[in-house]
Structure 1
Amino acid sequence: MTASLFPIFLLASVAAAATGVIFRPGAWYAGLRKPSFTPPNWAFPVAWTTIYLLSAIAATRVAPLPGAGMALALWSAQIALNTLWTPVFFGARQMALAMVVMATLLVTVAAMVLSFWSLDWRAGLLLLPYLAWLGVATALNWRVWRDNPDAVGR
């Protein structure tokens, strides 16, 4: 593992996380109907902090390996999509477009897990919590969008 790469992947993750500081859920989100499986508010920063750390570690493990180009392209794509979702959902309040971003993110992360796993199974293993959390996040995005048809953009 090339430890000198870790700060680069972590910095990209911090940039993605910064959108959560800029575009907070606030009163708009608090007023939406949410499904019973909605995690408690404290779980979101805990989950994302863990996911970002594990993802940066996984990318650091994979980056120096021969044939890592596609894996790193997928990592780059997922961090871009991850960064995009928060301003689309909480900033623009465009739940349908956020659903498209989320579904694309889910597929990208699934492909990334497979790509990382083929290069370093431990790196792939580190990404499984991300994939699991995205499953919940995708279902949550879907249900909030479906159950709050009048809340878009307001």
Structure 2
Amino acid sequence: MKIKWTNLILWVVGTELVGVLSVLISGGDFSGFYQQLNQPPLAPPGWLFPVVWSILYALMGISAYLILNSGDKRRRTALMLYGAQLLANSLWTPMFFGLRSLEGATAVVIAMLILITAMILSFYHISKAAAYLNIPYLLWTGFAAYLTIGLLVLQ
């Protein structure tokens, strides 16, 4: 498959922008709010989150590009799952930091895990590479679920 660089860049930048918009919408005091919470074991420093999420959004964009350009008839359903998980993802930050709702953020992160798993399975049948690119995302979201639930329990 020949890479269409403009399209690939648009998918990556578009996915990154979802993360940026989520942060802007939340308008929260990220560092201060996160630091004042009782942290569960293994909680990383706040600066790590934007670094990891930037990488994960790029991998998501690349994977969606691979699915779109696969020519597979199942790509529409796969990309709908991609959109659904990305929408759920975009709700977590405003829920957690904007509304400061640990309960709401927990519900969102659980929905994310379900949708990401469904997306990866759908991607796998079309492009194994696209599916594998999302394994770090699933693992990090699992860790985020642990942290969110841990924060909820410890407050």
**TM-score (norm. length: structure 1):** 0.88
Q: Distance in 2 between matches of 1:24 and 1:118?
A: 41
1:2 CA drift (Å): 4.2
Contact 2:56–2:136 at 8 Å: present in 1 too?
A: yes
Matched with 1:20 is: 23
Q: Distance in 2 between matches of 1:24 and 1:58?
A: 32
Q: What letter matches 2:108 in structure 1?
A: V
Q: Distance in 2 between matches of 1:43 and 1:59?
A: 25
Q: What letter matches 2:112 in structure 1?
A: L
Q: What letter matches 2:75 in structure 1?
A: A
Contact 2:123–2:131 at 8 Å: present in 1 too?
A: yes
Contact 2:16–2:54 at 8 Å: present in 1 too?
A: no
Q: Which moved more, 1:54-63 or 1:65-74?
A: 65-74
Equivalent of residue 88 in structure 2, options 75, 81, 87: 81
Q: What letter matches 1:20 in structure 2?
A: V
1:50 CA drift (Å): 0.8
Equivalent of residue 5 in structure 1, options 7, 10, 14: 7
Equivalent of residue 36 in structure 1, options 21, 41, 50: 41
Matched with 2:53 is: 48
Tell me the percent identity: 30
Listed one character per residue, the Cα deviations across residues 116-137 of structure 1 (whole Å, up to 9, x for unaligned) are 1111101111110000000100
Matched with 1:102 is: 109
Gaps of 5+ in 2: none
Listed one character per residue, the Cα deviations across residues 72-91 of structure 1 (whole Å, up to 9, x for unaligned) are 00110111111111001100
Gaps of 5+ in 1: 149-154
Q: Distance in 2 between matches of 1:131 and 1:16?
A: 18
Equivalent of residue 135 in structure 1, options 122, 136, 142: 142
Q: What letter matches 1:89 in structure 2?
A: F
Q: Distance in 1 between matches of 2:17 and 2:29?
A: 15
CA separation of 1:119/1:2 partners in 2, compared to 1, >3 Å: closer, same or farther? farther
Correspondence 1:140-151 to 2 at 5 A:
140-148=147-155
Contact 1:88–1:97 at 8 Å: present in 2 too?
A: yes
Q: What letter matches 2:146 in structure 1?
A: A
1:70 CA drift (Å): 1.3
1:38 CA drift (Å): 0.8
**TM-score (norm. length: structure 2):** 0.88
1:46 CA drift (Å): 1.6
Matched, 1:111 2:145: no
CA separation of 1:128/1:24 partners in 2, compared to 1, >3 Å: closer, same or farther? farther
